[in-house]
């Protein structure tokens, strides 16, 4: 019952915020390919094609809301998913921010036993200083019936007017997240090179390495994978 109350509050607040002023909304459309679909250390197989539509709106100098949809598919036909998500972020001070989010995962086709949908509730606390940021994130998944806490460090820096570099590393710790017991879950290192093609379009290739730690290493493998996305911002 509590999850439905939180869900209704988030979606109601987001819908009201967007309906008040449609002129002050930023839109981002992403089309991408990844050589493997890897999420939080879990490997869902090769060749992921995905698309994302994101709306973002500032409500004040400190508060912003966002909502969107993500869909992914694999040529094998084993995996098809459509998600909806919404959330808000609040600037606590010059360097600190926090936020809450809700995601609805709709599993149209998956190669393992699963419910048709799952709900995810998440939050973050982030410190930013120039090109560096450090976030502490926690999520609860109703299908996994557990928490996954992640520490994420990132560095983003322009190289030229058109080319930038982004480095990130994350460490995940599981609290009964799709597995019984607590422990180190996964680690991830990622390098991306966003290239601004025009005022609207950018191309973002990346390469990443995922490590399966104590909770996952008995059934998941360490993987190196890559991909590219075309991003349009309006």
Q: Tell me the average pLDDT across 208-231.
A: 96
pTM over 0.75: yes
- Report the distance separating Cα 140 and Cα 185, nearest Å: 14
Q: Tell me the average pLDDT across 24-52.
A: 95
Owner of token pair 């520490």: 151
The pLDDT value recorded for residue 181 is: 81
The pLDDT value recorded for residue 108 is: 84
Burial class (CB in 10 A: 0-12, 13-18, 19+), 17: buried
Average pLDDT over all residues of the chain: 90
92 Rama sector, left if φ>0, alpha if ψ -120 to 50, beta otherwise: alpha
- Report the distance separating Cα 17 and Cα 59, nearest Å: 7
The pLDDT value recorded for residue 187 is: 98
Coil/strand/helix, residue 111:
coil
The pLDDT value recorded for residue 7 is: 44
Token pair of 210, please? Answer: 């995922």
The pLDDT value recorded for residue 21 is: 57
First to last CA, the chain: 38
**pLDDT bracket for residue 39 (50, 70, 90):** very high
pLDDT tens profile 6-31? 444 444 554 455 555 567 899 999 99
pLDDT tens profile 195-212? 999 999 999 999 999 999
pLDDT tens profile 120-167? 999 999 999 999 999 999 999 998 889 999 999 999 999 999 999 999
- Domains located in the chain, CATH noted: 2-233 (2.40.160.40)
- Size of the chain, expressed as the number of residues it contains: 234
The pLDDT value recorded for residue 22 is: 61
The pLDDT value recorded for residue 114 is: 66
């Amino acid at each position: 019952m509590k999850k439905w109350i939180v869900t209704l509050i988030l979606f109601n607040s987001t819908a009201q915020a967007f309906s008040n002023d449609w002129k002050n909304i930023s839109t981002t459309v992403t089309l991408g390919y990844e050589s493997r679909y890897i999420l939080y250390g879990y490997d869902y197989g090769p060749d992921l094609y995905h698309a994302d539509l994101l709306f973002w709106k500032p409500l004040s100098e400190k508060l912003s809301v966002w909502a969107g949809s993500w869909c992914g598919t694999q040529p094998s036909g084993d995996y098809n998913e459509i998600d909806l998500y919404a959330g808000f972020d609040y600037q606590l001070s010059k360097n600190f921010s926090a936020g809450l989010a809700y995601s609805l995962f709709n599993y149209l086709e998956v190669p393992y036993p699963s419910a048709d949908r799952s709900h995810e509730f998440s939050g973050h606390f982030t410190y930013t200083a120039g090109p560096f940021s450090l976030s502490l994130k926690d999520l609860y998944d109703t299908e996994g019936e557990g928490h996954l806490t992640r520490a994420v460090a990132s560095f983003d820096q322009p190289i030229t007017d058109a080319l930038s570099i982004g480095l990130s590393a994350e460490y995940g710790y599981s609290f009964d997240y799709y597995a019984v017991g607590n422990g180190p879950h996964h680690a991830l290192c990622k390098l991306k090179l966003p290239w601004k093609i025009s005022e609207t379009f950018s191309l973002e290739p990346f390469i990443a390495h995922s490590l399966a730690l104590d909770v996952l290493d008995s059934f998941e493998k360490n993987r190196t994978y890559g991909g590219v996305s075309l991003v349009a911002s309006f």
